[in-house]
Chain A
Amino acid sequence: MEPIILVHGGAGNIVSSRIPLKFDGTQRSVEAGYKILQNGGSALDAVEAAVRVMEDDEGFNAGYGSVLNLDGEVEMDASVMVGADLSAGAVTVVKDIAHPISLARLVMERTPHVLLAGDGANRFAKEQGIVRLAEGSLVSPYARLTLEEFKKQQSTGTEIKNPGEVG
């Protein structure tokens, strides 16, 4: 079988200044995953590696650079699934974790559950030796600016435009 890896970096109205970031990041993500496949690695390892690249990249809405909730915090979700046996793992509303996708994989591999949420997910991460980042470490300047603009539009009653991705 010829290995293939396919990635996306989010859908929506992508502002032109962000397009080069998207091209660069998705290509680096693909290369990280493909390298694993090329060396005989598994599809699971490849998708995890590919997503981790984009979680580290401020140009994407995941990990560092995630959009902010109304309190100005990063709260992240991630999930992973293996086609061989339909095993799956996910996390939701996790904070201060650099790679939620790897935490989702640990939920799949080391718990009897599919989805862990909030404080429970963060506690599980700690038990697994995943370092909790300092509060606010994943907040990027662009994400802060976007939230400020959103709140300004809300307070003036102007029509709220989505400045970026829809999700």
Chain B
Amino acid sequence: TVGAVAIDKNGKLAAATSTGGYFGKMVGRSSDTSLIGCGTYADDNIGAVSTTGHGESIAKYCLAHAIIKAMEYGHKSASDATNETLNQMTLKLKHTAGAITLSKTGEVGIGFTSEGMSWAYRKKSELHYGIEKGQHEIKQV
């Protein structure tokens, strides 16, 4: 699965997610990626999210929307909302996932309960990226 979230100079947010699904899946299986609120969500008043991971769990947990609501009602930062919601989903459903989040103020949230997740973001002249837990590389571009 791949995904992107962005905020433009006018403070407008968008989110996008695309996937081939799960290897060896049944013919005709739909994933969370196609479900708004599960794989993708964006609201200019709060933030934008794209998710990846165990699709059936993400769908049952409405993961993208749950992260946004943790920010809206729980007043969590993008990072806390992302990581706490992912941990809650994995605790409840015993499967892993990851998510990227941008808040309306441009806060970045990156989290995953899986072994790894590739991610990258650009802000001004800095490119940030990583895959493993705790990895956060920065290079000037």
Measuring CB to CB, which residues of chain A are less than 8 angstroms from any residue of chain B?
Answer: 1-14, 19, 22-23, 25-27, 29-31, 33-34, 37, 40-44, 46-48, 50-51, 54-55, 60-63, 65-71, 73-84, 86, 88, 90-93, 100-101, 104, 114-115, 117-118, 143, 146-147, 150-151, 154, 162-167
Closest to A68 in B: B23
A43 and B110 in contact, given A9-B2, A100-B18 (Cβ under 8 angstroms): no
User: How far is the CB of B135 from the nearest CB of chain A, in Å?
Assistant: 11
User: Binary interface profile of B, 33-76, with partner A (CB < 8 Å = 1, else 0)?
Assistant: 11110011111110110101111001000000000000000000
Contact check, A77 vs B6: say whether CB atoms are below 8 A apart.
no
Q: When chains A and B are docked, how far (Å) is the Cα of A116 from the Cα of B9?
A: 31
Q: When chains A and B are docked, how far (Å) is the Cα of A104 from the Cα of B122?
A: 25
Measuring CB to CB, which residues of chain B are less than 8 angstroms from any residue of chain A?
Answer: 1-36, 39-45, 47-48, 50, 52-55, 58, 95-102, 104, 106, 108, 110, 112, 114-124, 127, 129, 131, 141
Among B19, B24, B41, B141, the residue within 8 A (CB) of A66 is B19
Among B23, B30, B112, B141, the residue within 8 A (CB) of A146 is B23
Q: When chains A and B are docked, how far (Å) is the Cα of A80 from the Cα of B129?
A: 23
User: How far is the CB of A155 from the nearest CB of chain B, in Å?
Assistant: 12
Contact check, A51 vs B129: say whether CB atoms are below 8 A apart.
no
User: How far is the CB of B20 from the nearest CB of chain A, in Å?
Assistant: 2
Q: When chains A and B are docked, how far (Å) is the Cα of A50 from the Cα of B55?
A: 22
Contact check, A33 vs B4: say whether CB atoms are below 8 A apart.
yes
Among B15, B21, B25, B127, the residue within 8 A (CB) of A81 is B15
